[in-house]
Structure 1
Amino acid sequence: MSTAYLSRLTLRQLRIFLTVCQQESYSRAAEELALTQPAVSAQVRNLEELIGEPLFDYVGRRLSLTPAGQAMRRAGQDLMQRLGQAEMELAELRGVMQGTLSLAVESSAQYFMPDRIAAFCRRHPEVEVRMRVMNHGEALKSLREERHDLTIMGLVPDDRRLSFVPFRQNRLVAVARPDHPLAGVGDVSLNRFLAFPLLVREPGSGSRRVFEALYQSRGLRPRRCQQLGSLESIKAGVRAGLGLAVLPREACDDDLEAGRLVTLIVEGLPLKRSWCVVHPRARQLTPVAEAFFQALTVPERG
């Protein structure tokens, strides 16, 4: 069959299709696009009729791409990237940095990234930044599927297809409420720390994986864990006396300064890691993404 039939494809159809791919849900895609779910479903159905192949299938209750859908997603992402690049290059000819920057940010980085984004936008007011906060597992999936221009993450997988640069220290500290029995104690052994209830993130969390690697390397395990859904809920749980936690220092700064939480001196802590900016090595950065990459990783001269 000739591929000329794809010339009847519209950018609107393509954007809707790519949003469904990203959200893995018709309803969430409709919410993201400010459309009704039937409108989103109709556009995808029209695209399937044009191509002559189903684009999505259900595996259990989960929406997944068919082989035709995977091919269209790759082509659609490439086309949108090229159009975005052309838009930015045309803006550069007018002496303006313009376009959209799409960032995937691990949840712990949400406490400092808005300041970095704001500084960049002050220098380039015509740039629109879209930041999506996710856990480590979601960030890895986003990288594999090349959903975003740049990804901010702590644990970068050993993969030669990825290019990354560390740009900021990430310290994981043990925290407790001020009246906890371990508060104010000198050096606390890791074994004693783990004897108290521990509040943890979901299994896809990078900070959870780092701390697990520490105690597992010493043949230890927590006596009791309670899994809570976010950094904020864990901090609230620690303040309420549900247990102890190991969290990024920057996520706790306000509570530590206000005296609602205290840090503990625990064997093996703090864990010092780095925040990295990551992108697929084979993907050419847009001018806006390259400018933001440089803003994060190259110290300003002053």
Structure 2
Amino acid sequence: MQISFLNRLTLRQITVFLAVCQHRSYSRAAEHLALTQPAVSAQIRSLEELVGQALFDYIGRQLFLTSAGELMLRAARELQQRLVHLEIELTDLHGQLQGRLNIAVETSAERLMGQKLQHFCQHHPGVDMAVHVGNHDDLLSRLRDNLDDLAVMTKVPSDQSLQYTPFAEHTLEVVIDRNHPLCTQTGLRLQDLLSYPMLLREPGSGTRQITDEYCRQNSVVIPRYQQLGSNRLICHALPGSENWSILPTDIIRDSGLAQQLSTLNVHGFPIRRSWCSVYPRAKHLNPLSKAFLDTLHTPIRGAPRDTG
């Protein structure tokens, strides 16, 4: 059966549709695209007329995708990604990489990625970089929605849908105030810390997932803890308190509190994991993504050794 309406779809309709999907609002999509709200509504209405089905439902003043809308969203993202690839491949024919590269980075990798991004941009000045920083679960969600060319994270799920390659070590240590009573003790095990409250990241973070995994493997249950939304916030909450935490080594070093904090020599620490480059296994990497992967997996000459 021939589907003739596909020949009448326009890139403008696709762009407006994707903006409405992203913002879940006609007015916010209009603001993002520098259009009027009636113009956005007209584009969606004409697209729905071509498809012959509604793409959005209003339920309780909220916008939701219909089944047809879900199918259109998947196709629109694939089309948008293919056009990006085409632009990059055409510019690559002239010997210089150009285009836009979307990278997602787990929060704890900010320091490591700062060096890599600077190096990449120096060697590819024609590339526009968009870097999203979020926690582990946020990055997995973005990979599922094909919002980024690739991501940098630790603890990659083993569901076979993601292609990943380790490129740098990631270590976590037990950290406390330098005047904490435990600082004078030796031969510590994690169980010895449980009489003091712990500061923990939220469940969606990579640091929290690694911590929970370590506790499960060692049959440790944390009886008292407070949950904070960032590693740096935890660092600033430790000085002058009896709290303790498990944090990435780089965060401890870069917190500006090195003189006020101390890392404990606890059996089984530091925990060692790897930073990995990650992208969907079914995704075809464009030349920009491949060039960035080369940067990730090549040591930067003259830079300090990556340990986080």
TM range (shorter): 0.7 to 0.9
CA shift in 2, pair 1:168/1:21, >3 Å: farther
The one-letter code matched in structure 2 to 1:247 is L
Match of 1:264 in 2: 264
Deviating runs (4+, > 6 A) in structure 1? 58-62
- Distance in 2, matches of 1:70 and 1:35, equals 25
| Preserved contact between residue 175 and residue 246 of structure 2 (Cα < 8 Å) | yes
Shift of 1:240: 5.4
What is the 5 A alignment of 1:172-211? 172-211=172-211
Match of 1:161 in 2: 161
- Distance in 1, matches of 2:141 and 2:290, equals 22
The one-letter code matched in structure 2 to 1:118 is Q
Name the TM-score, length of structure 2 as normaliser. 0.85
- Distance in 2, matches of 1:296 and 1:93, equals 23
Is 2:149 the partner of 1:119? no
SS of residue paired to 2:158: coil
Shift of 1:263: 1.0
The one-letter code matched in structure 2 to 1:42 is S
Shift of 1:51: 3.0
In structure 1, the gaps of 5 or more residues are none
In structure 2, the gaps of 5 or more residues are 303-308
- Distance in 2, matches of 1:194 and 1:61, equals 48
Match of 1:42 in 2: 41
| Bigger Cα Rg | 2
Match of 2:218 in 1: 218
| Preserved contact between residue 196 and residue 223 of structure 1 (Cα < 8 Å) | no
Match of 2:306 in 1: none
Match of 1:136 in 2: 136
The one-letter code matched in structure 1 to 2:142 is S
| Preserved contact between residue 26 and residue 41 of structure 1 (Cα < 8 Å) | no
- Distance in 2, matches of 1:263 and 1:40, equals 58
What is the 5 A alignment of 1:1-302? 3-22=3-22, 25-26=24-25, 30=29, 33=32, 35=34, 38=37, 42=41, 45-46=44-45, 47-57=47-57, 64-239=64-239, 241=241, 243-255=243-255, 258-299=258-299
| Preserved contact between residue 56 and residue 65 of structure 1 (Cα < 8 Å) | yes
CA shift in 2, pair 1:134/1:196, >3 Å: same
**Stretch deviating more after TM superposition (165-174 or 227-236):** 227-236
SS of residue paired to 2:226: strand
| Preserved contact between residue 26 and residue 41 of structure 2 (Cα < 8 Å) | no
CA shift in 2, pair 1:82/1:182, >3 Å: same
CA shift in 2, pair 1:237/1:44, >3 Å: farther
| Preserved contact between residue 100 and residue 127 of structure 2 (Cα < 8 Å) | yes
1:53-87 Cα distance to aligned partner (Å, 9 max, x none): 33345788986533212211221111111111111
**Stretch deviating more after TM superposition (4-13 or 89-98):** 4-13
- Distance in 2, matches of 1:44 and 1:194, equals 59
1:227-252 Cα distance to aligned partner (Å, 9 max, x none): 11122222222235272111111122
The one-letter code matched in structure 1 to 2:231 is L
| Preserved contact between residue 176 and residue 242 of structure 2 (Cα < 8 Å) | no
SS of residue paired to 2:255: helix
- Distance in 2, matches of 1:133 and 1:173, equals 22
Name the TM-score, length of structure 1 as normaliser. 0.87
What is the identity percentage for the equivalent residue pairs of Structure 1 and Structure 2? 40
- Distance in 2, matches of 1:252 and 1:44, equals 51
The one-letter code matched in structure 2 to 1:270 is P
Shift of 1:220: 1.8
| Preserved contact between residue 139 and residue 151 of structure 2 (Cα < 8 Å) | yes
- Distance in 2, matches of 1:137 and 1:194, equals 27
Root-mean-square deviation (CA, aligned residues, Å) is: 3.0
CA shift in 2, pair 1:284/1:217, >3 Å: same
| Preserved contact between residue 184 and residue 264 of structure 1 (Cα < 8 Å) | no
The one-letter code matched in structure 2 to 1:293 is L
- Distance in 1, matches of 2:186 and 2:264, equals 8
- Distance in 2, matches of 1:239 and 1:29, equals 43
The number of aligned residues is: 301
- Distance in 1, matches of 2:186 and 2:219, equals 23
